[in-house]
């Protein structure tokens, strides 16, 4: 690969998380590097109880925590998770929109896989029981996939570009990539971006179960998610949200903001192969990584770590391993999948893992893949397992792949701001 000219990146100045491992980004990262799992049995009283043997359940978000009481009752959980993460990210960035940045020069891009599934399922049941009068007039503003972005914009007075990306499990990562595109194009000074999903509902669970996609047969729920392990037999369904605040280094420096890391490149491709299974040779994923490297002005040898998509499915892990080996060859960066500890958060996964990768760059510490007892020989990689690995990183990638053949890879480097986290 020929090194291309380095283009300006976007500094991460704020982070917000709602995950099965908690809400504070530093605490989530410390749990990951300590090898703790957020995957548990589904408790009695939860809507998914009896439907799932294990799940990554995010903390409860009371609607009144993030919205006025009169509005909170008609907002789906996927939007509440996004609001909580966005509130934390914007506060973490020390940002007041309208004071520190022009509201019209601020953008919001929030991806999701399913949107308001809980709201739709509840209202469909009410229609079945009571007919047309039973359906709430608030169904559409509760369930539409753009409502997480809309709610964040309304609450924080964001008046610039606004979008919702719905590319299944690549949505969170692709939304973060869109943030970099907007900053580079000069279309925004600040972008609030990320992903959210709340899919722990019986109909969705039944579909994944019948497709034999979910991990089964593990007595200890914390052992069920096993990316790249020879004994893996599916992914663990989870929920959550992650939001990042992106801005140029110049803009951050002008207001005295500190950066965690810099988003320096991205690549998105399509397999054009199958609705649910990846290309066996991983070529679509490999193209996304190559494009991210070119976007960042990097060569394969510059990458010291890859936070893999690594869901724990038989075909997916093998295809991604083939892609990684095709791109990096003898350079073999360290690889781990943090889904071993969080489960698969669907449309939120890529954004959560973007936060984790940025913190790995900032802290020089790589989280291990949980439950990787015996790596599959078909997934021959430099796995980080057993314990966190200290390393000084010049750059790192985070991968997100999805049903429909969507592939997104994000490249990160150290923050170039005068002040760093």
Residues annotated as part of the active site = 169, 309, 344
Separation of alpha carbons 236 and 229, rounded Å:
14
∠ Cα 68 70 72 (to 5°)? 65
Contacts (Cβ under 8 Å, ≥6 apart) of 210: none
Contacts (Cβ under 8 Å, ≥6 apart) of 128: none
Query: Tokens representing 398?
Result: 């985070």
Q: Which of 406, 47, 52 is nearest to 207 (CA)?
A: 52
Separation of alpha carbons 98 and 101, rounded Å:
5
DSSP conformational letter for 239: -
Contacts (Cβ under 8 Å, ≥6 apart) of 319: 278, 279, 280, 281, 282, 285
∠ Cα 109 164 342 (to 5°)? 80
Query: Tokens representing 185?
Result: 């194009």
Separation of alpha carbons 158 and 154, rounded Å:
7
């Amino acid at each position: 690969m020929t090194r291309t000219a380095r283009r300006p990146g976007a500094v991460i100045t704020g982070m917000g998380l709602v995950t099965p491992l908690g809400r504070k980004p530093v605490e989530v990262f410390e749990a990951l590097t300590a090898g703790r799992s957020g995957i548990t049995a589904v408790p009695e009283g939860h809507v998914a109880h009896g439907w799932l043997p294990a799940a990554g359940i995010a903390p409860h978000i009371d609607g009144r925590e993030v919205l006025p009481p009169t509005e909170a009752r008609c907002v789906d959980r996927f939007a509440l998770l996004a609001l909580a993460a966005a509130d934390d990210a914007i506060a973490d960035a020390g940002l007041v929109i309208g004071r520190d940045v022009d509201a019209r020069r601020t953008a919001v891009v929030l991806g999701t896989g399913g949107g308001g599934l809980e709201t739709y399922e509840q209202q469909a049941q009410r229609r079945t029981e009571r007919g047309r009068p039973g359906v709430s007039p608030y169904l559409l503003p509760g369930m539409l996939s753009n409502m997480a972005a809309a709610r964040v914009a309304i609450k924080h007075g964001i008046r610039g570009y606004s979008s919702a990306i719905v590319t299944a499990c690549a949505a969170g990562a692709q939304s973060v990539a869109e943030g970099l595109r907007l900053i580079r194009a000069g279309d925004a000074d600040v972008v609030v971006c990320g992903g959210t999903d709340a899919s722990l509902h019986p109909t969705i669970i039944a579909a994944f179960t019948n497709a034999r996609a979910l991990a089964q047969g593990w007595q200890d729920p914390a052992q069920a998610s096993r990316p790249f392990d020879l004994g893996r037999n599916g992914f663990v369904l989870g929920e959550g949200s992650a939001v990042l605040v992106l801005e140029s280094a110049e803009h951050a420096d002008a207001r005295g903001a500190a950066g965690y890391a810099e988003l320096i490149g991205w690549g998105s491709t399509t397999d054009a192969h199958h609705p649910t299974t990846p290309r066996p040779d991983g070529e679509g994923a490999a193209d996304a990584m190559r494009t991210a490297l070119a976007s960042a002005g990097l060569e394969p040898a510059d990458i010291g770590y890859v936070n893999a998509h690594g869901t724990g499915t038989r075909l997916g892990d093998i295809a991604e391993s083939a892609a990684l080996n095709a791109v990096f060859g003898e350079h073999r960066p360290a690889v781990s999948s943090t889904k071993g500890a969080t489960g698969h958060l669907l449309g939120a996964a890529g954004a959560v893992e973007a936060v984790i990768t940025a913190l790995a760059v900032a802290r020089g510490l790589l989280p291990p893949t949980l439950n990787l007892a015996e790596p599959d020989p078909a997934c021959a990689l430099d796995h980080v397992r057993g314990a966190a690995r200290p390393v000084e990183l010049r750059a790192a990638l985070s991968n997100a792949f999805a049903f429909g053949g969507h592939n997104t890879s994000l490249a990160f480097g150290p923050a170039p701001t005068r002040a760093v986290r």
